Amino acid sequence: MRLRCVVLDDFQGVATGMADWSVIEDRVEVVALREHLDGEDALAAALAGFDIVVTLRERVPFPGSLIARLPRLKLLVASGMRNSVIDYDAAQAHGVTVCGTASSGTPPVELTWALLLGLARGIVEESTALRAGGPWQSTVGADLHGSRLGLLGLGRIGSRVARVGLAFGMRVSAWSQNLTKERAEEEGVEPAASKEELLAESDFVSVHLALGDRTRGLVGAAELAVMKPTAFLINTSRAAIVDQEALLAALHEGRIAGAGVDVFDVEPLPAGHPLRTAPRLLATPHLGYVSRANYTTYYGHAVEDIQAYLAGSPVRRLP
């Protein structure tokens, strides 16, 4: 009897076409689900008949309580090599092998700039007006050249965002709790004296930090209050780094010029969520990692992970 594998959150219906799943079809039946499963009860019911689960990023939590309700589960494959919503101890206790995949930093870098440029030049407003027969020019764009780009985080992704900013002729500064002057200078970036100084002096602020105890709620009402009213905030990292209620208030009150957001506390974002209609907001449905090359890697490595597990030698094990 073949094992059964389910691929979660295949919203675009492309998972089975992004890799050669035929190499395991004699031993594994693969099913892709296009609809998101929300809540532990729904997940437990839908996944009960599967031996292998392939999940994207950190959208679906796998706490110990859920793993305990899936006695048939043997292999959990998560895209990327870091996942904070899987209970690894519970997985081990229940005999579940957890594996990851490679993940490129290029797509989130590119999306960061798509959001930043879209905000700076009023792309959505102007395109919508043009198509609807509205006014010919209604916004005045913000210049990148000569403006200051402030980066919260200068790691693998932040440093690449910095290089693009420098190429645009921007003055780039960065801050994080661990950032040294030497590291900043390696990237040609000015280290900000403090988080508050970076926020107060930047024309564009972009978040590129990992989520943890020290970064959760790092940008709240007090931090947003020190930003320029002409400044823009971009977050393609993790939603919880920026206080969502404080951001909504700042947007509604016009205390910042706008925000570009790709990540949310709840995903998919509920139909009636206030962020769907917030003013001054350019929002995308967590597209940071969604690119053809990245999906090819995710699903190609998922197939390799399954092959290796079936051969008794799992690869890319997490954590």
Catalytically active residues are: 238, 267, 286
Q: Supply the DSSP symbol for 1.
A: -
Determine contact, residues 248/220, Cβ cutoff 8 Å. Answer: no
Are 88 and 98 a contacting pair, CB within 8 Å?
A: yes
Sheet holding 258-261, edge to edge: 190-191, 171-175, 148-152, 204-207, 232-235, 258-261, 281-283
Residue type, 110: E
Is 67 within 8 Å of 73 (Cβ atoms)?
yes
Q: Please identify which residue in the block is written with the tokens 């992004």.
A: 18
171, with CB counted inside 10 A (0-12, 13-18, 19+), is: middle
| DSSP letter, residue 37 | P
Answer for the pair 77, 302: CB distance below 8 angstroms, yes or no: yes
Give the strand pairing for 232-235 and 204-207. Answer: parallel
State how far the Cα of 162 lies from the Cα of 195, in Å rounded to an integer: 17
